[in-house]
Amino acid sequence: MSTASKPKSPATQQLIPLSAPEISGNEWKYVKECLDTGWVSSVGPFVERFEAAVADFVGTKFAVATVNGTSAIHIALKIAGIEAGDEVLIAAITFIAPANAIRYLGAYPVFVDAEPNYWQMDPEKVSEFLNNSCEMRNGALYNSNTDRRVKAIVPVHVLGHPVDLDPILEIARKFNLAVVEDATESLGAKYRGRKVGNLGQIACFSFNGNKIITTGGGGMIVTNDEAWARQAKYLTTQAKDDPLEYIHNEVGYNYRLTNLLAAMGCAQMELLPSFIERKREIASRYAKQLGEIPGISIMPEAPWAFSTHWLYTVLIEAQVFGMDSRALLRLLAKENVQSRPLWQPLHRSQALKDSGEFTCPIADRLNRDAISLPCSAGLSNGDLQVVIDVVASAAASRH
């Protein structure tokens, strides 16, 4: 089919969602098992089974399920030693959740611009900040401008693509900083053959409704450190020191995932390899057909990366394409195709203004030009072609 063929009229076409759950395995069966046995709450066999499945897939020794990805990051940062007044390096272009988790602890995010080719946290910018804006005092690193202690780096693997992590791990070792991976968007992605989530000291996943697998809402902390895993379980279950006598020596959190949702997670984990395969197929079809259109830059995959292409995203160069990303978004919406821009860069967020002033031109450009297109694992080839045709005819109409 020609890429410029006329799209179906919206009246005859159902909404094509951006990233919808694909519930096509044992979800009903496993959830029914919970209902039939009464194991519906935060204790039950599916919780442990889901934890084991994720640990096994990622290759870490331990996994602790949580109520969502944000709580997973909150606890992982706490375990990594982040305290009030500390600073933590984080990508400028990401969903706000990891920055919020830093703020929950009273710490401050330091925004690192994206690398222009792969859109991930730029290792050179990390190095520039640590080497030029920080100083060691009594074995601890301080930001010379704010006088705050710098404790950790949070590489956020955005959109299913890994961060270039080796240089970040190396500089983190040099300055004795913890590396807490936010792998929430990238379950299944690999960096130089190694799965994300098993590259730093501790990592987090999300199973929110739009993620590659979903439990409706849920998260996971993974680590190879037994003491940290124990601490994660302890803190996410209200820090019970003696569950019988209700003794608590620390403030804990009710962050455990329920058996019901873990049951869904177990079924989704069985489907994950097929989801990754389908997402990559969708990405390669988009790349082939949209890559021919002037003014569109297709979603990158670095030579050292295996991307899941979790949320398929392209850049629109308005002058060449003939309209900007927001105009294309409105046009897609008219054709019943759901799309969205990337997040407001965090250095521009009023919610995070206490972090100070940052200049992140690549993040700004990504925010201006990026548009994410439908890429659910259950997307049919027919619907995929409808999306491609709408974009292609938008371009054709302007030339």
Ligand X SMILES: Cc1ncc(COP(=O)(O)O)c(C=O)c1O
Q: Which residues from 9-68 bind ligand X, rule CB under 6 A?
A: 68
The CA distances from residue 374 to 18, 240, 337, 384, in Å, are 4, 44, 8, 8
Of 19, 42, 60, 94, the residue at the interface with ligand X (CB under 6 A) is 94
Distance CA 125, CA 49 (A): 40
Determine which helix (DSSP H) or strand (DSSP E) holds 254, and give its type and residue range: none
Nearest residue to ligand X, scored by beta-carbon proximity = 69
- Binder to ligand X among 87, 122, 181, 185 (CB under 6 A)? 185
Q: Which is nearer to ligand X, 269 or 394 (CB)?
A: 269
Nearer to ligand X, 143 or 223 (CB): 223
- Stretch of residues binding ligand X (CB under 6 A), selected from 94-102, 128-136, 332-340, 349-357: 94-102
What is the phi/psi pair of residue 182, to 5°? -95, 95
- Tell me whether residue 206 or residue 355 sits nearer to ligand X (CB atom): 206
Nearer to ligand X, 20 or 134 (CB): 20
Of 333, 328, 337, which Cα lies nearest the Cα of 393?
Answer: 328
Contacts of 294 (CB under 8 A, 6+ apart): 320, 321, 395, 399
- What three-state secondary structure class fits 188? coil
Stretch that binds ligand X, among 170-178, 179-187, 269-277, 327-335 (CB under 6 A): 179-187
Close Cβ partners of 311 (under 8 Å, ≥ 6 residues apart): 18, 19, 159, 160, 185, 210, 372, 375
**Strands (DSSP E) found in the chain:** 62-66, 87-91, 108-112, 134-137, 140-143, 150-154, 178-182, 190-191, 194-195, 202-206, 219-223, 296-297, 305-306, 313-316, 370-372
Least distance (Å) between residue 30 CB and ligand X:
20
- Site map for ligand X, 140-159, x if CB under 6 A? ----------------x---
* Complex with ligand X: residue 213 or 290, whichever CB lies closer: 213
**Strand partners of residue 313:** 372
Say which DSSP state 237 is in. Answer: B
Q: Does 341 bind ligand X (CB under 6 A)?
A: no
- Tell me the H-state helices in 293-374: 318-321, 325-334, 361-369
Minimum distance between the CB of residue 91 and ligand X, rounded to whole angstroms? 8
Q: Which of 21, 162, 219, 295 binds ligand X (CB under 6 A)?
A: 219
Q: Binders of ligand X among 195-214, rule CB under 6 A?
A: 206, 208
Beta carbon of residue 206, minimum distance to ligand X (angstroms, whole number): 3
Residue 95 sits in the site that holds ligand X (CB under 6 A): yes
Q: Which of 182, 364, 383, 389 binds ligand X (CB under 6 A)?
A: 182
Instruction: Select the span of 55-63, 178-186, 256-264, 376-384 touching ligand X (CB under 6 A).
Output: 178-186
Helix (H, G, I), strand (E, B) or coil at 41: coil
Nearer to ligand X, 208 or 339 (CB): 208
CB of 291 to ligand X, least distance (A): 26
Burial group, residue 81, by CB count within 10 angstroms (0-12, 13-18, 19+): exposed
- Beta carbon nearer to ligand X, 77 or 377: 77
Which residues would be at the binding site for ligand X (CB under 6 A)? 68-70, 94-95, 97-98, 156, 182, 184-185, 206, 208, 219
